[in-house]
Amino acid sequence: MRRCRVTQRSIFMNSLSEIPGGMRYHFGAEARLQRSIEDGCMAVFDGWSYEEIATPSIDYYALFERGMGRQEAQRAFRFTDADGRLLALRPDVTSSVARAAATLFAGRARPLRFCYAASVFRQRSRSHAEWRRESRQAGCELVGAGGRAADIETLLIAAEVLERLGLRSGTRITLNNVEVFNGLSEKLALDTGAREEMRRIIDTRDDSALQEFIRHHTTQVAQGGEWGLARLAGQREVIDEARRLISNPRSRVALDALDELWGVIEQLELTDLFEIDLGDVSGLDYYTGLVFKVYVAGAGSRVGSGGRYDDLTVNFGRREPAVGFVLELDALTEVLMRRAATMEPAQSHESGAPIVEPDGDAAGLFREARQRRAANSRVRIKQRDEG
């Protein structure tokens, strides 16, 4: 019994070796892989003429509250400035880019194309599977361009990154337009509570609850057959099905937009990468049109998301259309790391030939080292106590 107690104390003792939950180190092969994925993303973004922007790591909490919505922003690490104003450790980059577009770049010709790779911090994660509290994101924002071409541009950039990572065969990018839901919600004259209830039901694809909800909220039985959530995801036929069930003009406009978008994807022969998912109703308070999520085989949760957010920049004094996305670099690294592990053993990074220190001649040693470095070869200085 006594021994048991001693062991327990040593396990739970608060010491300097402890790492806060959701934080981690990156090193070795994994760090190199993540770096190369990040570089790959930035190269693709650059190829589409997106300009790199670095935003402040710490900013006023109010920025994120406006930019992400209160519920999302509340997940941020918060603390106060010297004057008592509330600060936050950047939980997303988009809010800050949107502010810069409306202020710093107010005078620049539109559209603005920005890209970034940055760490974001969230005190509470979205789900148990996404345990990270610091995560690395790479993203694009296209500000000042509305319409289909801008939507397609961002989708294709995301698709190109995934193709270049060799993930095309296991990738699915789901497309939706939030106005489909907004139109339905308006038609049913739902109050805020009921709207959120319907959003939650559709989000979890809870079919039985939806039937119940529709029965409760519509006086006349929905015409043209049953509402089936299972049939909300698929290819073009999903739009036809939805048109049969949904008659309100607001949703119909959104369905037409999706239809046009799908038409272009078909012509580009990219239908294996994409899918329409009318059940994707997350982030409704933020997005105003197209929304998309990126899934990759081998990752249990999504590895990226994006969409159109035309109402965001008005918070900073200038209303203009905008669309963008982020990719989760940690999740992508994990997928590629596991794939690499099945194919070949991790390559050793210790390949630089060690330069043995000649007796006491430090200058000679480092002269040679400098020469090799000048020729761009890797060196590794053998230290005295090295085996």
Q: Under the rule (CB under 8 A), what is the footprint of other proteins?
A: 19, 21-25, 27-30, 126-129, 131-132, 170, 172, 174, 204-209, 229-230, 233-234, 275, 277, 293, 295-302, 337-338, 341-342, 345-346, 348-350
> Which residue number, 10 or 219, has a Cβ lying nearer to other proteins?
10
If the CB atoms of residues 70 and 126 are measured against other proteins, the closer one turns out to be 126
Distance, C-alpha 282 to centroid of its chain:
13
Residues paired with 87 in a beta bridge: 60, 79
With respect to other proteins, which residue has the nearer C-beta, 25 or 189?
25
Give least dist CB 134 to other proteins, A: 11
Which residues sit opposite 60 in a β-bridge? 87
Q: Smallest distance, Å, CB 167 to other proteins?
A: 11
Backbone angles phi, psi at 291, to 5 degrees: -130, 145
Nearest-approach distance from CB 327 to other proteins, in angstroms: 15
- Residues contacting residue 117 through CB under 8 Å, at least 6 positions apart: 38, 41, 42, 136, 137, 138, 139, 329
> Would you say 202 and 229 are in contact if contact means Cβ atoms under 8 Å apart?
yes
The residue (of 107 and 193) whose beta carbon lies closer to other proteins is 193
Cβ nearer to other proteins, comparing 112 with 335 = 335
| CA separation, residue 144 to residues 51, 108, 114, 255 (Å) | 15, 10, 11, 23
The candidate with the shortest Cα–Cα distance to 95, out of 243, 309, 350, is 309
Nearer to other proteins, 186 or 196 (CB): 196
Q: How far apart are CA 58 and CA 55, in angstroms?
A: 9
Taking the complex as a whole, how short is the minimal distance between the CB of residue 158 and other proteins, in angstroms? 15
**Cβ 212 to other proteins, closest distance in Å?**
10
Q: Which is nearer to other proteins, 76 or 331 (CB)?
A: 331
Work out the end-to-end distance of the chain between its first and last CA atoms, rounded to an integer number of angstroms: 44
The DSSP line for 93-160 is: SHHHHHHHHHTTTTTSPSPEEEEEEEEEE-SS-SSSS---SEEEEEEEEEES--HHHHHHHHHHHHHH
- C-alpha closest to that of 122 among 19, 20, 15: 20
DSSP H helices, the chain, are: 2-12, 28-47, 61-68, 70-73, 94-102, 147-164, 178-187, 192-203, 207-217, 236-245, 249-267, 329-343, 362-374
CB of 139 to other proteins, least distance (A): 20
**Residue 324 to residue 263: CA distance in whole angstroms:** 21
Q: Considering the complex, what minimum distance in angstroms separates the CB of residue 168 from other proteins?
A: 13
Torsion angles phi and psi, residue 351, rounded to 5: -80, -15
CB of residue 27 vs other proteins: minimum separation in angstroms? 6
The amino acid present at 269, given as its one-letter code, is E
From the CB of 166, what's the least distance to other proteins, in Å? 13
* Residue placing its CB nearer to other proteins in the complex, 230 or 363: 230
Of 360 and 387, which has the nearer Cβ to other proteins? 387
